[in-house]
Amino acid sequence: MIGIFGGTFDPVHLGHLRTALDVFEALGLEELRLVPLGKAVHRAPPRFSAELRLEMLEAAVANQPGFVVDRREIDSDEPSYTVHTLESLRRELGDEVPLCLLLGRDAFAAFHTWREPERILRLAHLVVMERPGEALYLETPLEALVEGRITAMREELVRAPAGRILFQPVTQLDISATDIRARLDAGRSVRWLVPEAVLPLLETRR
Ligand code: ATP
């Protein structure tokens, strides 16, 4: 079973990494692919360049076995839609291997607004990471998508390549890239919010 964790990673922080590691261990994933966003569709362009976000991510996970940085969105000229990223991964990995798309609760709350959510659920399972400070309220279209798919059992994810939704409790770290960028703007330290290996990259290239 392979995990896919997409994000802007602008910059990568310990909230991303610790929670991804929690899921990696809890679900016994063989591999976790971190996919930095290429061309933003739903949000303002990132502060840091694609190459720097990639470099920071690579430095961050260099010592973590099983964690792989996947540059397919950054290398593509197309706008980054998760459904296309998953189709591209399926072409590489085949139809059989279970794929788990990791996303935070905030991202999940808007899942029905993504491009082709039903198709995403035919391509991957969803693993929703509980993020601090967010109550789960499912809007009706999301409720309809989720209907009959929720499971608490890892085995159900292993048995099918896609289509289930699992809520995974993770270490609660109230860290966001927005807050990190604000601290950098104010000339404050971001030590112990981002991996130590990322600090020099932020210092020299901001
Ligand atoms: P920004 O503040 O710029 O919006 P972010 O910190 O939310 O960024 P993203 O790269 O946009 O980071 O997030 C990628 C994914 O990681 C999303 O699914 C998001 O919900 C999840 N995530 C980010 N920070 C945390 C955290 N502290 N705990 C759990 N999940 C997180």
Please write the tens of the pLDDT for every residue from 100-124. 999 988 889 899 999 999 999 999 9
Q: What is the pTM of this model?
A: 0.93
113 ligand 1 Cβ < 6 A: no
The amino acid occupying position 120 is I
134 has a pLDDT exceeding 90? no
136 has a pLDDT exceeding 90? no
* CA 179 to ligand 1: nearest atom: 2
103 ligand 1 Cβ < 6 A: yes
Dist CA 41 CA 38 (whole Å) = 9
CA of 55 to the centre of ligand 1 (A): 18
Q: CA dihedral defined by 48, 50, 55, 61, rounded to 10 degrees?
A: 100
* CA 132 to ligand 1: nearest atom: 28
Whether the CB-CB separation of 182 and 176 falls below 8 Å is answered with no
Angle at the Cα of 173 from the Cα atoms of 202 and 184, rounded to 5 degrees: 25
Please write the tens of the pLDDT for every residue from 10-38. 999 999 999 999 999 999 999 999 999 99
Taking each continuous run of H as one helix and of E as one strand, the counts in the chain are: 10, 6
177 ligand 1 Cβ < 6 A: yes
User: What CATH number labels 2-174?
Assistant: 3.40.50.620
Q: Which of 194, 176, 168, 154 is nearest to 22 (CA)?
A: 168
Please write the tens of the pLDDT for every residue from 62-71. 999 999 999 9
